[in-house]
């Protein structure tokens, strides 16, 4: 599966692709920073350089078991000669390289693994390379934060299903109205809200009339992790037949204990964007 994204570097739009968990950056877009109308010429000039060929060959030997070293040696011997020319397509086809990808056509272009793309950017402009690395790292940091958040939200959803199933099997009488069922669900949700946040969903809405969503939409990562654990515990307590008030006391004590641990956890703080 190929994931395509874009970042902006010094007012230039640079495309990125993720293939098999590896990041590739469009060096055609990078070349436009130097000469917008001659990107192919810029890339070919870079490939003619002996230092470039040596760098590409070493990278392939480290990362590509199917790389063809004899063909690489042939290119290395010719590199630097006035008569030597090389295109990305020729390099890929002759050596079996995987560090560079080239696709013809209007929506095509030449992409390179991030290690190689940064090297190319340095050849274009040291300033551009530094800004490119900065924007690339910013994108990856945002992805990491989003992944952490999604994991916690999905965990909360899964545990919510376990929680509501326990309510349905143990607390909801047979043949009741939908209103009664909803009231029971809301009541049980508030057991967790009061145990963790100290107030019901209704009380939160009354205190936050200008905000959209609900109390859980404004929870931080530590609170979401704690909430997920509490949903499992509450489901267990329900199955054991504990009364609601007894469960509330146990859940509140558990929430206090968990939040003390979670707020001191460096991994959680990092997900929340706090200091290490």
Q: What is the pLDDT of residues 181-200, one digit of tens each?
A: 565 566 777 888 888 888 88
- Residue 99: predicted pLDDT: 95
- Residue 15: predicted pLDDT: 93
Provide the residue ranges of all domains of the chain, joining segments of one domain with +. Answer: 2-124, 141-271
Return the sign of the alpha-carbon dihedral for residues 218, 224, 267, 254. positive
User: What span, in angstroms and rounded, lies between the C-alpha atoms of 42 and 118?
Assistant: 15
- Residue 194: predicted pLDDT: 87
- 3-state DSSP of 18-35: EECCEEEEEHHHHHHCCC
- Residue 275: predicted pLDDT: 45
Instruction: Answer whether 86's CB lies under 8 Å from 97's CB.
Output: no
Residues of the chain under the 70 pLDDT cut: 105-107, 147-186, 262-276
Residue 199 tokens read as 């107030």
Give counts: helices (H), strands (E), the chain.
Answer: 12, 5
Q: Is 23 left (phi over 0), alpha (psi -120 to 50) or beta?
A: beta
- What SS3 class is residue 21? coil
Q: Give per-residue pLDDT as tens, 20-34.
A: 889 999 999 999 999
> What residues have CB less than 8 Å from 97, skipping those under 6 apart?
56, 60, 64, 67, 91
């Amino acid at each position: 599966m190929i994931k395509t994204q874009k970042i902006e570097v010094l007012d230039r739009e640079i495309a990125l692709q993720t293939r098999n968990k590896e990041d590739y950056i469009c060096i055609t877009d990078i070349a436009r920073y130097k000469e917008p109308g001659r990107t192919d010429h810029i890339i070919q000039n870079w490939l003619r350089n002996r230092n470039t060929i040596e760098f590409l060959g070493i990278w392939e030997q480290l990362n590509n078991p199917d790389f063809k070293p004899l063909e690489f040696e042939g290119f290395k011997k010719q590199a630097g000669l006035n008569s030597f020319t090389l295109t990305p397509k020729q390099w890929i086809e002759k050596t079996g390289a995987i560090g560079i990808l080239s696709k013809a056509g209007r929506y095509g272009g030449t992409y390179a693994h991030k290690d190689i793309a940064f090297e190319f950017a340095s050849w274009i402009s040291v300033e551009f390379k530094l800004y490119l690395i900065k924007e690339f790292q910013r994108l990856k940091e945002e992805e990491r934060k989003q992944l952490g958040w999604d994991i916690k939200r999905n965990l909360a959803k899964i545990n919510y299903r376990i929680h509501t199933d326990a309510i349905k099997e143990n607390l909801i009488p047979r043949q009741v109205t939908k209103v009664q069922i909803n009231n029971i669900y809301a009541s049980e949700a508030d057991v967790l809200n009061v145990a963790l946040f100290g107030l019901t969903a209704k009380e939160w809405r009354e205190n936050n009339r200008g905000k959209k969503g609900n109390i859980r939409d404004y929870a931080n990562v530590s609170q979401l992790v704690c909430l997920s654990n509490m949903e499992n515990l509450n489901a267990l307590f329900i199955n054991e037949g504990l009364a609601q008030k007894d469960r509330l006391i146990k859940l509140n004590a558990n929430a206090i204990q968990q939040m003390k641990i979670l707020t001191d956890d460096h991994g959680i703080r990092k997900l929340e964007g706090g200091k290490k």
